[in-house]
Structure 1
Amino acid sequence: MRLGYLHARVTDLADARRHYVDTLGMQVVMEEPNRLFLKAWDEWDHHSVVLEEGGVGLDKIGYKVAREDDLADFEKRIQAFGCTTERMSKGENPAVGDGIRVTIPSGHTMELYHEIEFTDTAVGLINPALFPRHLVGIGVPRLDHCLLKAEDIPLSERFFSEALDFKPAERLVSDLSDDAELLGTWMFCQHKTHDIAFVAGEDGKLHHWAYKLEDWNAIKHAGAILSMDDVSVGFGPDVHGLSRGDTIYFFDPSGNRNEVFAGGYETYPDFPTITWTADKTNPAVSYIGREVADNHFTVDT
């Protein structure tokens, strides 16, 4: 159904706390030695981001499935595709139920689960306010998507299509010939512009994870907060041609790239795939500015 949680590594947990709590506005819901469990104000699950001290980059991602029975079905399909799965026991991840774990073709660890402890949102579910009265920093409402690196993008796209029912909303290709190289794929499983995406790079690497904001005004507000807190910004505010989303990319103190994202379009089961060619990469990424720093394509964690 959606990206439910993301576990990342950071070099210094105190610095990470200041970034994700004071600047982004996430709430600490649980602490363990060298680990923080966080959630955004409009998320009802126990947590959405886990930060663990020791290194940088992505540890694993978790996607929630609609029904308990879906786990066995996806397990069979993943194994039929040729990937090895292992069972995940309730409590192995705090507050998360039984599930399955797989190393996907791009080398990343992915977990599928159905049950996670419900802890309410900051405004509740009965006659809720539009937003909490005292938001901190940017006040991100929810985790949205992630972009990963992969050496074999067609294989990653096939895996998510055939084993997990994702569909490509947009693709970046070298050209429009029959033997064009697939350079990137942005895939959805519900109605977002994308729930996961892959671009060319070293297996196992993370490009960014993103938080969904309300609109362009929220993006501008986020930019001001990032400047106040001296956060390193990659580029933006700008608008993606690919996804039509408003965006700012920036880095946490460990070098992990984050994004705040607003707008975009809805997808549907019969949504036709949009194609971008490599000669239009800059407007695909930065439609207004059309200039993107080299590190946007080369730096990952």
Structure 2
Amino acid sequence: MPVPAPNLYPDFNTIRLSHLYLNVSDLAASRAFYVDTFGLQVTDESDTHIYLRALEERGHHCIILQKSDQPGTVETMGFKTYAEDDLDRAEAYFSARGRPTEWITRPYQGRTLLTADNHGIPLEFYHKMDRLKPIHQNYALYHGVRPLRIDHFNCFSPDVDASVAFYNDIGFRVTEYTEDEESHALWAAWMHRKGGVHDMAFTNGTGPRMHHVAFWVANPLHIIDLLDLMATTGYVGNIERGPGRHGISNAFFLYVLDPDGHRIEIYSSDYQTLDPDHEPIKWDLKDPQRQTLWGAAAPRSWFEHGTKFVGTETQEAQLKATPIIAP
């Protein structure tokens, strides 16, 4: 199916992705990974939760680690709206399309709408979050990979065309996409709100499941620093793929797994997509430079491993086309 024309005037206005609830088995082990090794900053913690933010962020949190009897799962993905009344318009929008809606209470957030997309990915929308003092010039805090901000989500979808149509209708715009030349179906797509390559991306596969959450860093040298640290502090087995440079997005990347198997991407040097008439870039599924500009294929785990959403059933992908996979 062709990429849909962008909807520049959606029913409600989403600014960007915001935060993610990750279910974990051991808060101490997760803290050692995300704080001591990776470099996120603790904004609050208890016996059941740890709230984290990256170094450039003013909002209270971008990652919430939640001790759970369902570790290795995701509870919700969060997005920020432009205005308070966008929340009411969002509730009307999702209700009219038969999607569940519920007003929930979240610590450090204002009014929050819990809903789900067309495949059941749990989404929450809010406008107000507690604001914290800036720390981006407090360089004594910079360690690990020096994560500056949360950048994007990527999810496995059983029908990428349907996912793209749904998010396009609420104002997300396609920047790049992979098309299967035989069926002309979408195998993957990258969609944005904030003016980068993507806030949300979809990869063909059993889903819905989270493929990864990504953090933006200032330059690739910080990725090398993290690799050296992980390799000498007991995390060498958590390094999955990279470092390398993507063909799609042109970003320098590394993929690692946290102690519960959640995949984290470290991401640097993509490009801006601010113009509303920005034309999406098409890639062929069999192009060896699609995955990595330098031609290196991704491992099989990258196409198969993902983390489930709590309470959401998965289904096999409709499209059976396969990409290039490393031997």
User: How do 1:67-216 residues align onto structure 2 when only pairs under 5 Å count?
Assistant: 67-88=83-104, 92-123=105-136, 129=137, 132-162=139-169, 164-175=170-181, 179-216=183-220
In the TM superposition, residue 284 of structure 1 has moved relative to its aligned partner by 1.5
Could you say which residue in structure 1 is the equivalent of 2:3? none
Could you say which residue in structure 2 is the equivalent of 1:296? 302
User: How do 1:203-282 residues align onto structure 2 when only pairs under 5 Å count?
Assistant: 203-231=207-235, 232-268=238-274, 269-280=276-287, 282=288
- Range with greater deviation from structure 2 (218-227 or 113-122): 218-227
Which letter does structure 1 place at the counterpart of 2:194?
A: Q
In the TM superposition, residue 10 of structure 1 has moved relative to its aligned partner by 1.5
Could you say which residue in structure 1 is the equivalent of 2:81? 65
| Secondary structure of 1:243's aligned partner | helix
Q: Which runs of 5+ in 1 are unaligned?
A: 124-128
Aligned partner of 1:286 among 292, 297, 301:
292
1-side partners of 2:160 and 2:250: how far apart?
Answer: 22
2-side partners of 1:290 and 1:74: how far apart?
Answer: 42
Contact 1:108 1:203 in 2 (8 A): no
2-side partners of 1:181 and 1:228: how far apart?
Answer: 44
- Range with greater deviation from structure 2 (285-294 or 147-156): 285-294
| Secondary structure of 1:236's aligned partner | strand
Could you say which residue in structure 2 is the equivalent of 1:126? none
Could you say which residue in structure 1 is the equivalent of 2:313? none
User: How do 1:16-27 residues align onto structure 2 when only pairs under 5 Å count?
Assistant: 16-27=30-41
**If the length of structure 1 is used for normalisation, what is the TM-score?**
0.91
1-side partners of 2:233 and 2:147: how far apart?
Answer: 15
In the TM superposition, residue 134 of structure 1 has moved relative to its aligned partner by 4.1
1-side partners of 2:209 and 2:216: how far apart?
Answer: 22
2-side partners of 1:14 and 1:77: how far apart?
Answer: 40
1-side partners of 2:97 and 2:186: how far apart?
Answer: 20
Q: Which runs of 5+ in 2 are unaligned?
A: 1-14, 308-327
| Secondary structure of 2:60's aligned partner | coil
- Range with greater deviation from structure 2 (113-122 or 98-107): 98-107
Contact 1:44 1:120 in 2 (8 A): yes
Could you say which residue in structure 1 is the equivalent of 2:27? 13
**If the length of structure 2 is used for normalisation, what is the TM-score?**
0.84
Which letter does structure 1 place at the counterpart of 2:47?
A: P
Aligned length: 288
In the TM superposition, residue 122 of structure 1 has moved relative to its aligned partner by 1.6
Could you say which residue in structure 2 is the equivalent of 1:47? 61
